[in-house]
Amino acid sequence: MDAQWDDLKVFLAVARNESLSAAGRVLKVDPATVGRRIARLEETLKVALFAKSPQGYALTNGGQRLMSHAVRAEQEMLMAFEDVGERGRQLSGQIRLGAPDGSANFLLPQVCSGIVEQNPDLEVQIVALPRVINLSKREADMAITVSAPTAGRLSVQKISDYKLHLVASRKYLRNAAPIHSRDDLRHHRFIGYIQDMIFDKELDYLSEAGLDKVHLASNSFSVQFNWIRQAAGIGFMHDFAIPFSRGLEKVLKDEISLTRSFYLVRHADDRRLERMNRFAEALAVGIKKEVARLEGQT
């Protein structure tokens, strides 16, 4: 039975990381051992669990059926340890959090470091990707998103609204044509997302503001932030990011202002895990306070 549970943990690692080497790094064993354990499990079950391709290891139909059972077994094991262990103790172990790079760079470092300071045995990992985090594959234990997903067995909690404005550096504004109205914007360089790489419609800021020309584009908000900071042009910026660089100024702040929201998305089954609930509560409270604090500085 122990061997079967161990093989199941190896299966979950390969399914989530889509390669033997990546799974081996997570499990701290060599890829050859991972491969042997998967082969043993497939032999025991008499079914192929993965299809290998140049892109990595993809679940077969049999693998997908096993995945749902394996995740439930994993969660039941976690619940058992929580139930038997001491209640009310500090958080411990590893929690992986996925987030867009705007929040990952300008909100989560302060919030998560505060949570870890209160829980020294806790390890928080922030996965900052310019795309939707796949919770079904366990790329993360939970994710911050800018829109509420409507598909899948997920738990969705709205955390906080936040503001965005057009922003430029004072250096750029000193050397560029004056801006008194929307019409004046046509004489300026714009910074924004690569249009065909916008993974969520809520990130299409320029289109919503009636601006269709992007001169400098990146799929990363951090790159856009640095372009704006270095006087390369004008772009939309979260109000909570503005305090991280001196010399930035809102442009037409009374005419052009956007409001967006952050959501905390979790696996529905994780609602039964007290450890995850406590971390999620601390995270949501921390993000809301940090957004309010930073926006208050602008």
The answer to whether 34 and 27 are in contact (CB under 8 A) is yes
Predicted local confidence at residue 245, as pLDDT: 95
Predicted local confidence at residue 162, as pLDDT: 97
Dist CA 246 CA 103 (whole Å):
19
Sign of dihedral through CA atoms 284, 286, 291, 292? positive
Predicted local confidence at residue 3, as pLDDT: 52
Residue 145: helix, strand or coil by DSSP? strand
Strand partners, 145: 263
The answer to whether 121 and 162 are in contact (CB under 8 A) is no
pLDDT less than 50: residues of the chain: 1-2, 86-87
The answer to whether 224 and 218 are in contact (CB under 8 A) is yes
Predicted local confidence at residue 2, as pLDDT: 47
Q: pLDDT tens across 101-135, in order?
A: 999 999 999 999 999 999 998 999 999 876 777 77
Predicted local confidence at residue 81, as pLDDT: 62
Predicted local confidence at residue 6, as pLDDT: 81
Predicted local confidence at residue 123, as pLDDT: 92
Predicted local confidence at residue 67, as pLDDT: 84
Q: pLDDT tens across 34-50, in order?
A: 999 999 999 999 999 99
In this structure, which amino acid lies at residue 122?
L
Predicted local confidence at residue 146, as pLDDT: 93
Predicted local confidence at residue 140, as pLDDT: 84
Dist CA 42 CA 48 (whole Å):
6
